[in-house]
Amino acid sequence: MLRPIFSPRVRLGSSLIAIVLTLLAGCSSAPTRNTSANAALDALYAKLDQASRDYDQALTLARQDDNAQAEHAISVALDTMRNTAAQCVNLPGCDVQRFISSYDRALRLKDGSFLGGDEGDQISDQPETVTSGESASPVLNAVPQTQRSVSLLRGRQLSDLIAMNGPVKAALQTWLTSMRPNLMQAYVDYQYLRFEMWPEYQKADLPEAILFGILAKESGGKVHAVSRSGAAGPLQFMPATGARFGLTTVDGFDQRFDPTLSARANAEYLNEQLAQFNDNLEMVLAAYNGGEGRVGRLATMQGNASFWDPQIYFSLSPETRDYVPMVLAAAWLFMHPERYNLHFPQVDGAPGHIILQRPASLTELAVCLGQAGGQRYGWFRTLRNLNPQLDPQVQEPMGARIELPKTLQDDYAKSCISGPWVALADDLHSAVLPTPPPQIAQAADPPPPHPRHYTVRRGDTLSSIARKYSCDDVRSLAKANHLHAPGYALKPGQELTLRGCGRE
């Protein structure tokens, strides 16, 4: 870490953030470039690229303790960025994302003296002041901020830039509109899982907001979620990646469904990849969704690569371009709901347990507990989430231990040991579904055959194909097709044998 070299501090934040806001407002729908504008645009982009190179050179001077020259070089570079940004506002076809990417990259540079802003813009560990009627941030009020420098949460400048970025703004709108019920349910579910998952992130020195963002986007808080591609669990591990981080099958139970073990594996994965991608959270999230190999190759295109750089951003799949902003937006809303007229419910997620006084399944317990404690949608998902190893339809014997929120312990004693709700639960659980006569069962259409081969298309990766066709793991698929690590290079038109793969 370099020592601060300027006094007063170099002010990257306020002026460039204002420019970014202007760009976002003025260039949201840029017209198509015409031939006459090409030269002007190319010249403008060349100036921006040169300013970025000058900024890098200034950092080199700083490392050599040449403070006077470094200060002058940074001043010139920033003036150039400001001037080119101002010209971009009025130039048809100008790509605002390029300027966001350059600013984003500058903020990521590891010298802390370049990450500060105006004196009033310093990072604070104290909860933000909220007015009456606003819901306080669950992170800022309940959990001390970690000191770890991770991109999204390392300081207000970078966080505010991300919050102003077009794709993240669109993701914020999605969470606050069509996906708002999903976000609220994910928050409630997370509060009951928090005591199992958050300690693993805390031990790994990772921000809790990122854990929530990944969980909200990946599974919505459903511990038993399984995707069509075979990813499973609250954080959606593929079989091969899960096994790599210790998530295996033990006594028939897939440990990807275990919230604690899944959070531990996810934290290990993130720390591994943060080291690989120079603490660049967006690139790590892109790798988590789109594959380490693909994103790693893109990252080698430039030092301190930015996910928002158009050359990287548009080289990724639409799914990954959607995934990263959605995770960042959910994390940001988790920290700052009051800024977005969002009010998360107060949830007492303290863990508890009961010892069954009579045989009961999780479904029977969900029926007799009903909506105890004001739980609008009942307790079935929470019971499943907290007891992932149990089949919800199978009765557990008297004396078995069942995990549930502490607030339900008294409700179990009141409603689930004896009384009318127990009788109702027994009656519903004893229901028998009809089975088809043999002649009807034999006439049923057979399932469609699973394709045995796949023709590679442009943009495919071995990981994406393995996910699409529920293959056992990438290595087995590679071995069956004589592909070699680490790249597993594919060519459009290449035919692959889908060995060890299930139906899509």
484 with 401, same domain?
A: no
Q: Which residue shows structure tokens 């394709």?
A: 451
212 with 326, same domain?
A: yes
Q: Could you tell me the two tokens for 488?
A: 């597993």
Domain end: 378, 413, 429, which one?
429
157 with 229, same domain?
A: yes
94 with 144, same domain?
A: no
Listed residue (371, 364, 383, 358) closest to 429, CA to CA:
364
pLDDT 10s digits, 380-432: 999 999 999 999 999 999 999 999 999 999 999 999 999 999 999 999 998 88
261 with 217, same domain?
A: yes
| Three-class HEC string of 13-53 | HHHHHHHHHHHHHHCCCCCCCCHHHHHHHHHHHHHHHHHHH
Rg, the chain, Cα only: 27
Q: Which residue shows structure tokens 């594919």?
A: 490
- Length of the chain equals 504
229 with 86, same domain?
A: no
Contact 64, 2 (CB under 8 A): no
Instruction: Name the helix (H) or strand (E) containing 404.
Output: strand 401-405
69 with 175, same domain?
A: no
Res 100: pLDDT? 63
30 with 154, same domain?
A: no
Burial tier of 388 (Cβ tally within 10 Å: 0-12, 13-18, 19+)? buried
305 with 360, same domain?
A: no
| Three-class HEC string of 283-334 | HHHHHHHHCHHHHHHHHCCCCCCCCCCHHHHCCCCHHHHHHHHHHHHHHHHH
In a domain, 21, yes or no: yes
Q: How many percent of the chain have pLDDT more than 90? A: 38
Checking if the pLDDT of 188 tops 70, the result is yes
Query: What CATH number is given to the structural domain containing 491?
Result: 3.10.350.10
Distance of CA 325 to the CA centre of its chain: 8
pLDDT 10s digits, 80-116: 877 777 677 677 777 766 766 666 566 555 433 222 2
Residue 414 to residue 401: CA distance in whole angstroms: 17
Mean pLDDT, rounded, for 127-145: 36
327 with 360, same domain?
A: no
Q: Could you tell me the two tokens for 325?
A: 């902003």
In a domain, 445, yes or no: no
In a domain, 306, yes or no: yes
Res 168: pLDDT? 87
Mean pLDDT, rounded, for 113-125: 29
Contact 338, 136 (CB under 8 A): yes
Residue 455 has φ and ψ, to the nearest 5°, of -95, 125
pLDDT band at 288 (very low <50, low <70, confident <90, very high): very high
Checking if the pLDDT of 16 tops 60, the result is no
Residue 297 to residue 290: CA distance in whole angstroms: 12
Tell me the helices (H) and strands (E) count for the chain, helix number first: 22, 6
For residues 272 and 37, the model is more confident at 272
Query: What CATH number is given to the structural domain containing 250?
Result: 1.10.530.10
Mean pLDDT, rounded, for 38-51: 84
Domain range holding 460?
A: 453-497
Q: Could you tell me the two tokens for 275?
A: 């080291």
Domain end: 340, 364, 390, which one?
340
Contact 19, 82 (CB under 8 A): yes
Res 101: pLDDT? 65
In a domain, 123, yes or no: no
pTM over 0.75: no
What's the first-to-final CA gap in the chain, in angstroms?
49
Number of domains making up the chain: 4
Listed residue (428, 406, 425) closest to 358, CA to CA:
425
Report the 10 Å Cβ neighbour count for 217.
28
Residue 127 to residue 114: CA distance in whole angstroms: 25
In a domain, 437, yes or no: no
- Residue 250's DSSP bridge partners are 253
In a domain, 239, yes or no: yes
211 with 309, same domain?
A: yes
In a domain, 28, yes or no: yes
Peptide bond into 486 cis (omega under 30): yes
Residue 205 to residue 267: CA distance in whole angstroms: 9
Checking if the pLDDT of 471 tops 50, the result is yes
461 with 326, same domain?
A: no
Name the residue type at position 310: P
In a domain, 318, yes or no: yes
Report the 10 Å Cβ neighbour count for 53.
11
Pairing of β 495-497 and β 401-405: unpaired
Domain end: 340, 359, 377, which one?
340
Q: Which residue shows structure tokens 């999204």?
A: 152
Report the 10 Å Cβ neighbour count for 352.
15
